[in-house]
Amino acid sequence: MASTAGGLARLQLRQFVPKGGIVSNPSCSYSTAAASARTPASKAPSKVTRTAASMHHKLRSSSVPELSRRKFGSSACKSSSWPAGAVGHAESDELPSASASKGKGKGKALTWIPSPPRSKTIADIQALKHHPEGSIPIVCLTAYDFPSALSIRSADIDLCLIGDSLANVALGFTSTQPLSLDAMIHHCHAVKRGLDAPLFSTASLLDGLELPPPPLVIADMPFGATFGSIDSGVAAVVRLIQETGVDGVKIEGSYEVVPLIKRLTDHGIPVMGHLGLQPQRVGSTSGYRVQSKTAQQAKEMLDASLALERAGCFSIVLECIPTRVGQYISQQLAIPTIGIGAGSKTDGQILVMNDMLGDLTGAGHVLAALSPHPDQPVEGTLSPPTPSPLTPPPPKFVRNFSLTR
């Protein structure tokens, strides 16, 4: 993916650079090889013959199709939302020099560096729930490495979660408990490099288009990182944010994590809660089971959700609970709820990217999907697809449904 995007960017640059041209960074200005030979290296040129900035200005001056269908807060995802740099005139292929703009003698050409679009914020996410025309579903997706982050960056994703589920789908563990804080920091670095990579931005810049705003980035606090004192938990969170640059953290737990969340939010650290099925505690729940199936359990989850909201959580993940429970909790909270296996009535949905792409899908799942009626068994004459002999079997934690003939 990265090589394809890089090739696209180089192809677009070649359209702007004449044969024998030399591109210089960071202004993307160029000159011919002959002109470079005539110009001493110690002497700066008095003007720029042509720049990618002026071409970009021409493209932005024309009608540019809007990629995003939604508006976030007071800023719209449209062509005018990028802060303007030092742009040239649409009629001219030249940029004014820095000294010329001050009315003085000669000077270096003004460097044009495009500013990236504003990243989505907590206010943008919460505004989707309280939209005047009705709640707009919040789109969340996980990312664990550079390629998956590039995919998220090119799509209109509201929230990117660097989840501890990477222990399962990226590292091959049977649970999330073996994941360490150091490993989480390692993967957060990879994701941030993908989200901040200029590959897609360069291609869209030269095409006259622009990407949607980068998503809000939240990282999971791994198992055990917050089990000690409040001070040690705060130290772990601060280390994760300082070393990786993520926007906030997600913490699994109920009343027992309220004091920690209160301390973090009092100091301005965004925290997302997580209730329902909590993979870090899968041992105590005897497996991955639906939670809050009784009225009493649903009432307890509602009370815990309200406690997390009062502690300062900006959003709460609800995992593996009945649809009616997820809907009722979402209606009672002022903050958004993000569901995973919690029905379609929550304020948003989150998926593990590998599950969405079917990377770990077994043959039984594929065969079940081929049935014209989900509530009826597949015909016995239909044989499961045969994988390649070189294809490794799916991990043990991935459920495969046996077929009854």
Shared-domain flag, residues 297 and 259: yes
Shared-domain flag, residues 89 and 161: no
pLDDT higher for 78 or 211?
Answer: 211
Instruction: Provide the pairing of β-strand 337-340 with 315-319.
Output: parallel
Shared-domain flag, residues 164 and 192: yes
Shared-domain flag, residues 153 and 286: yes
Shared-domain flag, residues 33 and 177: no
pLDDT at 110 over 60: no
Task: State which of 357, 374, 400 marks the end of a domain.
Answer: 357
The reported pLDDT for the residue numbered 112 is: 53
Alpha helices in 157-229, H assignment, sequence order: 166-169, 181-195, 199-207
Q: Do 198 and 256 touch, CB atoms closer than 8 A? A: no
Shared-domain flag, residues 200 and 322: yes
**Cis geometry, peptide bond prior to residue 132 (ω within 30 degrees of 0):** no
Shared-domain flag, residues 40 and 134: no
- DSSP reduced 3-state for 230: helix
DSSP 8-state code for residue 23: E
Which domain range does residue 22 map to? 17-55+84-115
| pLDDT tens for each residue of 333-370 | 999 999 999 999 999 999 999 888 877 766 666 666 66
Task: State which of 337, 357, 377 marks the end of a domain.
Answer: 357
Shared-domain flag, residues 289 and 334: yes
Asked whether residue 90 is domain-assigned, the answer is yes
Residues 27 and 75: their CA atoms lie apart, in Å, by 27
Asked whether residue 398 is domain-assigned, the answer is no
Shared-domain flag, residues 245 and 327: yes
| Backbone torsions φ then ψ of 134, nearest 5 degrees | 115, 155
What CATH number did the domain enclosing 169 receive? 3.20.20.60
Catalytic residues: 319
The reported pLDDT for the residue numbered 369 is: 64
Residues 352 and 357: their CA atoms lie apart, in Å, by 9
| pLDDT tens for each residue of 209-252 | 667 889 999 999 999 999 999 999 999 999 999 999 999 999 99
Is the backbone of residue 286 left (phi > 0), alpha (psi -120 to 50) or beta?
A: left
Shared-domain flag, residues 107 and 132: no
Task: Give the total number of structural domains in the chain.
Answer: 2
Give the best-scoring range by mean pLDDT among 105-119, 211-225, 277-291.
Answer: 211-225
Asked whether residue 237 is domain-assigned, the answer is yes
Asked whether residue 62 is domain-assigned, the answer is no
Shared-domain flag, residues 95 and 143: no
| pLDDT tens for each residue of 177-211 | 999 999 999 999 999 999 988 766 555 555 666 67
Asked whether residue 79 is domain-assigned, the answer is no
Reported pTM: 0.64
Asked whether residue 269 is domain-assigned, the answer is yes
H/E segment holding residue 208? none
Shared-domain flag, residues 188 and 315: yes
Task: State which of 64, 98, 115 marks the end of a domain.
Answer: 115
Residues 220 and 43: their CA atoms lie apart, in Å, by 52
